[in-house]
Amino acid sequence: METFATALPALSDAWALILQPVVLGYLVLGVVMGLAVGVFPGLGGIAGLSLLLPFMFGMDPILGLALMIGMVAVVPTSDTFASVLMGIPGSSASQATVLDGFPMAKKGEAARALSAAFASSLFGGLVGASFLTVFILIARPIVLAFGLPEMLMITILGLSMVAVLAGRIPLKGLAAAGLGLMIGTIGEADAGGSLRMASYDIPYLTDGLKLVIVGLGIFAIPEIVSLLRQDRSIAKGASLGGGWMDGVKDWFANIWLSVRCSIIGVVVGVIPGLGGSVVDWIAYGHAVQTTKDKSNFGKGEVRGVIGPESSNNAKEGGGLVPTLLFGIPGSGSMAIFIGAVALLGSGEIEVGPSMLKNNLDITYSIVWLLALANVVGTVLCIAASGGIAKLTTIRFTYLAPFLFMLISFAAFQSGQNFEDLLALFTIGLIGIFLRRFDWSRPAFLIGFVLSNPVEKFTNQAFQIASFRFRKGFEEGMDYVFSPIVIVLIIITVVSVVLGIRQAKSIMAEGDVQSGSKRAPMVFLLVIAGYLTFALINANMIPDYNMTDKIIPLVIGGFSLACCLILMVQMMRRPEGDSIFADKEVAGEDADAPFGLWSTLAWFGGLIVATWFVGFILALIGFLISFFRVRAGASWGMTLVLTACGIGFMCLMAGALNRDFPPGLLQGAVDLPWPLK
């Protein structure tokens, strides 16, 4: 109780620090900057914070904190715009939001989806902060109780959400998740450094694929291409129903779901090493499992938005615990944050174990600045959501080129290689076919996101467990089956059992018609072929690097087995069976006036042109020809829109100090920025 006695004065000190006009001013400034940066999918907090770093040196600590926190806090809020309106997951925090948010936008309920999401975010942020105020005092032993077996079990719990999202044919969902896991193992292994499906001759692959690229490729590109082919607005019929008040009402009607998901967010966020990758999927799964009528999930169920959005802001608060108490950043932006805090003032704030003893007031200021920034950011976002939602009524052909521009730029920022664009295109292609043949894209993405944690924690937990077992059987069992692990196992089993029962009613891709055998069979063979090749490749790793090959072998073997069973089923079942789902047979895609390849060729053209003349020049050509030829716009309109696009790109990239992909031309001639 002694700790609580010191906590109260510290809390009031913190509020005294925060509630100064100048501090609040800096906070709002940070929030506005964060919102501006947040519209770029895939850049988010890291880009914004790096921009602020030069000003942090010697700055008054509380002002610097207000500015930085304002900026970081709103990114998981503002990236909701992209995920709901365009189906573009801006960060791992908004992947699950896409599943139901984007279908709502397509139904013309964008404003409702956005305000429900923002209200949930706000609430989640506040629940997170309140919880942390007490929890941060007692968090240390609890955080330390989460060892490797516990973290492995949470990762598996996240993975078990595949059961809920597997789609109509569970085997397809499993195979999709397996493929995601396998794609996640590409590159240099963490443990022994062996190369999987990569070569030192292609240095790009040794680092593996980045989440931003896979997220954009799997979710954004298929949707953009599909809408572009249909040549309509995002909201069908270009009508907007459901205003922003409806969304707030929706949230209030589901307030208990919001509370539960917020708590899931804080708790998982607190555990270092997991970060945000699993939280929104666990929350989404929870939302599905606690909803009586599940038939609307994947087609625009508002609870599917409220769940993940409540958890993702709460998670930011939870993520402060490992950051502040242990000095271990839970995310990339938190890592920069730690570095920046050291630059503040005369360097007196030291993030780490001493934070609670020496700087409890600062700790509380950080927690509540985060909550306050959430409030400010959310109010601004809700105010803007009605207007921004109108974007969904614009003819999509006018939006698509800008979206291609944005996602290409975002992809390039993840690694600053031309290959980033190629990877985006390739993963986009995979995404398009997963969507077409009704293989669960969420399952694929969950697999990819959790690939590295699954492999890492399995290997490490196994190594330490065998070390303990060598000391004694009992010690080993105590380590592997701690009470937390047992509880997590029970939750996982229950969730899988419930999930399998419910999976059939959740159709993330909507109701897909079935057609002939040939196309789905070819796609299955391609996947099985890749898996076989990856298996052979993994098997070539020498045995002393068992840690690098065991997971690809097991997962790859399992996925291949799923594919083989599917193959047998496909051979036996008649045409028209749901296993042969194919969007090109009937429905929106099949009736679309434009073909897949001619539409995709536009994007391919942008990438090829970038290879030759660099991004900005290629973009000028792309925008002009697209608006003229594809959209049939007048020359005046074309030039105005092109100028807007290029201007916006240069403004943002210039302000954030970012480069564009160079081409062969730039290799030969020195050109001034932004052409270089």
Answer yes or no whether residue 272 interacts with another protein by CB under 8 A.
yes
Name the token pair of 15. 């509020």
Q: Which stretch binds another protein (CB under 8 A): 256-264, 326-334, 488-496, 597-605?
A: 326-334
Helix (H) or strand (E) holding 419: helix 418-436
Contact 121, 312 (CB under 8 A): yes
Given 10, 24, 246, 352, the residue binding another protein (CB under 8 A): 352
Name the token pair of 314. 């709460």
Given 9, 25, 193, 595, the residue binding another protein (CB under 8 A): 193
Contact 442, 165 (CB under 8 A): yes
Answer yes or no whether residue 359 interacts with another protein by CB under 8 A.
no
CB nearer to another protein: give 85 or 341.
Answer: 341
Answer yes or no whether residue 314 interacts with another protein by CB under 8 A.
no
Strand pairing partners for 233? 395
589/574 Cα distance (integer angstroms): 23
Residues in binding contact with another protein, number by CB under 8 A: 57
Q: Which stretch binds another protein (CB under 8 A): 239-247, 342-350, 386-394, 524-532?
A: 342-350
Residues in 39-98 at the binding interface with another protein, rule: CB under 8 A: 46, 49-50, 53-54, 57
Q: 164 by DSSP, 3-state: which?
A: helix
- Compute the least distance from the CB of residue 57 to another protein, in Å: 5
Q: Which stretch binds another protein (CB under 8 A): 94-102, 184-192, 398-406, 582-590?
A: 184-192
Per-position DSSP letters for 490-510, written without gaps between them: HHHHHHHHHHHHHHTT--TT-
- Compute the least distance from the CB of residue 200 to another protein, in Å: 5
158/449 Cα distance (integer angstroms): 10
Residue 180's CB is within 10 A of a number of other CB atoms, namely 28
Answer yes or no whether residue 456 interacts with another protein by CB under 8 A.
yes
Place of tokens 């929106």: 588
Q: Which stretch binds another protein (CB under 8 A): 124-132, 186-194, 437-445, 480-488?
A: 186-194
300/305 Cα distance (integer angstroms): 9
Q: What is the DSSP letter of 578?
A: G
- Compute the least distance from the CB of residue 461 to another protein, in Å: 9
- Compute the least distance from the CB of residue 91 to another protein, in Å: 15
Helix, strand, coil % over all residues of the chain, rounded to 5: 75, 0, 20
Given 123, 251, 326, 409, the residue binding another protein (CB under 8 A): 326
Helix (H) or strand (E) holding 196: strand 195-196
Answer yes or no whether residue 417 interacts with another protein by CB under 8 A.
yes
Q: Which stretch binds another protein (CB under 8 A): 294-302, 335-343, 428-436, 509-517?
A: 335-343
Answer yes or no whether residue 641 interacts with another protein by CB under 8 A.
no
- Compute the least distance from the CB of residue 231 to another protein, in Å: 39
Q: If we measure between CA atoms, which residue out of 62, 248, 197, 96 comes closest to residue 548?
A: 197
Contact 584, 229 (CB under 8 A): no
Answer yes or no whether residue 554 interacts with another protein by CB under 8 A.
no
Answer yes or no whether residue 475 interacts with another protein by CB under 8 A.
no
The 229-268 site mask, x for binding another protein (CB under 8 A), equals: ----------------------------------------
Contact 351, 303 (CB under 8 A): no
Name the token pair of 459. 């290997």
126/353 Cα distance (integer angstroms): 25
Half-sphere exposure of 247 (CA within 13 A, CB side): 33
333/69 Cα distance (integer angstroms): 10
CB nearer to another protein: give 304 or 329.
Answer: 329
Q: Which stretch binds another protein (CB under 8 A): 60-68, 375-383, 439-447, 542-550?
A: 542-550
Answer yes or no whether residue 147 interacts with another protein by CB under 8 A.
yes
Binding site for another protein (CB under 8 A): 46, 49-50, 53-54, 57, 144, 146-148, 188-193, 200, 203-204, 206-207, 272-273, 326-329, 332, 335-336, 339-340, 342-343, 346-348, 350-354, 415-417, 456, 459-460, 463-464, 467, 470, 542, 544-545, 547, 657
